[in-house]
């Protein structure tokens, strides 16, 4: 029976069995959901298909959301990628993540991974890395299961909800999952996966959840683009051999403690931060009267 309560345990299991974190996660899921390997792989294949469709729709989207706050930015970023300071790969990831998030804002079909608010980060990171590395579908599915294993532990030991732990819990978790998947796609070790998760989350600790008018649009949509890039840097650092001084499970504990101590005004209540700016309040009044 496969069991793990921390990322350290997940890493140790992968090392003991000389396999990936993704394979351990799949085994865990199989044993706990009594699902067949074939069906689980099919489900994940379907998730990956939906993720890719949402990226395609997003980077071609010119429609505004009902509120008029978001829409049409992903295509601008995508079209700018050849002249960008940061380069084609980074801008493609940013455009893809913003695009998926724009699809979410117009009630389109996305995979909430781990949540709808952070839905662009993991797909954008995986697709960008897989295109660069020419990964096979089997490797992509393994990377998705790797991300899922990380998300499982964070959900159990901290939170993945902005309403509970601030945006660090939502976009922070997505960053950790995306960084883990990219290390996996880049041929990194289970230890490097752990360091990438720690590095990605550490740099987002304390991030407020302060959506304007309570809509998952501002700052959420563009934040998905920033965080996708952020997770790529964490993955690259880990693949380069950089280690997190604070072990990954302690980083998750810190995230949980910070989440509990954040004021409720920055936990998706739209009663603080950007939501309370003069412009934020004016938007809220315009949208809701
Ligand atoms: S700011 Fe809040 S609603 Fe927006 S993505 Fe972050 S956690 Fe989700």
DSSP string, 45-97: HHHHHHHHHHHHHHHT--PPPTTSSS-SHHHHHHHTGGG-SS-HHHHHHHHHH
pLDDT at 232: 98
Specify burial of residue 154 (Cβ count, 10 A radius: 0-12, 13-18, 19+). Answer: buried
pLDDT at 106: 96
In a domain, 1, yes or no: no
Q: Is the CB of 268 under 6 A from ligand 1?
A: yes
Look at ligand 1, atom 8, and give the residue with the nearest C-alpha: 117
pLDDT in tens, the chain (289 residues): 899 999 999 999 999 999 999 999 999 999 998 899 999 999 999 999 999 999 999 999 899 999 999 999 999 999 999 999 999 999 999 999 999 999 999 999 999 999 999 999 999 999 999 999 999 999 999 999 999 999 999 999 999 999 999 999 999 999 999 999 999 999 999 999 999 999 999 999 999 999 999 999 999 999 999 999 999 999 999 999 999 999 999 999 999 999 999 999 999 999 999 999 999 999 999 999 8
In a domain, 278, yes or no: yes
Q: Is the CB of 167 under 6 A from ligand 1?
A: yes
Distance separating alpha carbons of residues 217 and 70, to the nearest angstrom: 6
pLDDT at 152: 98
- For 235, the domain range is 7-288
pLDDT at 34: 86
Q: Which atom of ligand 1 is nearest to the CA of 166?
A: 7
pLDDT at 289: 84
| Residue in 118, 169, 272 to alter for ligand 1 test, most ligand atoms within 8 A of Cβ | 118
Number of domains forming the structure of the chain? 1
In a domain, 77, yes or no: yes
Q: Which atom of ligand 1 is nearest to the CA of 162?
A: 7
Q: Is the CB of 117 under 6 A from ligand 1?
A: yes
In a domain, 2, yes or no: no
pLDDT at 3: 94
Asked whether 25 and 31 are in contact (CB, 8 A), the reply is no
In a domain, 254, yes or no: yes
pLDDT at 263: 98
Give, to the nearest 10 degrees, the angle between helix 137-157 and helix 7-16: 140
In a domain, 147, yes or no: yes
pLDDT at 191: 98
In a domain, 175, yes or no: yes
- CA 220 – ligand 1 centroid, Å: 5
Beta-bridge partners for 209: 267
| Residue in 98, 100, 102, 162 to alter for ligand 1 test, most ligand atoms within 8 A of Cβ | 162
| Residue in 120, 209, 213, 277 to alter for ligand 1 test, most ligand atoms within 8 A of Cβ | 209
């Amino acid at each position: 029976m496969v069991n793990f309560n921390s990322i350290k345990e997940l890493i140790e299991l992968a090392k003991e069995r000389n396999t990936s974190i993704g394979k351990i996660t799949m085994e865990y899921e199989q044993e706990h959901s009594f699902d067949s390997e074939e069906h689980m792989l099919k489900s994940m294949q379907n998730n990956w298909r939906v993720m890719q469709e949402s990226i395609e729709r997003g980077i071609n989207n010119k429609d505004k959301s009902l509120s008029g706050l978001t829409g049409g930015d992903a295509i601008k970023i995508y079209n700018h990628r050849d002249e960008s300071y940061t380069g084609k790969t980074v801008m493609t990831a940013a455009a893809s993540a913003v695009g998926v998030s724009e699809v979410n804002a117009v009630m389109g079909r996305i995979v909430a991974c781990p949540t709808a608010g952070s839905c662009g980060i993991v797909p954008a990171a995986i697709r960008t890395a897989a295109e660069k590395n020419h990964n096979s579908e089997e490797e992509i599915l393994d990377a998705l299961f790797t991300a899922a294993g990380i998300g499982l532990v964070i959900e159990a030991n901290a939170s993945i909800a902005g309403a509970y732990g601030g945006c660090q819990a939502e976009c922070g978790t997505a960053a950790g999952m995306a960084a883990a998947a990219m290390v996996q796609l880049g041929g990194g070790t289970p230890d490097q996966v752990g360091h990438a998760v720690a590095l990605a989350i550490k740099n987002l600790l304390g991030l407020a959840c302060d959506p304007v008018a309570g809509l998952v649009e501002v700052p959420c949509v563009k934040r998905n683009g920033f965080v996708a890039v952020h997770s790529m840097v964490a993955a690259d650092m880990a693949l380069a051999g950089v280690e997190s001084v604070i072990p990954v499970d302690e980083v998750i504990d810190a995230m949980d403690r910070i989440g509990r101590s954040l004021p409720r005004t920055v936990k998706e209540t739209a009663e603080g931060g950007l939501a309370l700016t003069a412009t934020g309040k004016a938007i809220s009044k315009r949208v809701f009267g």
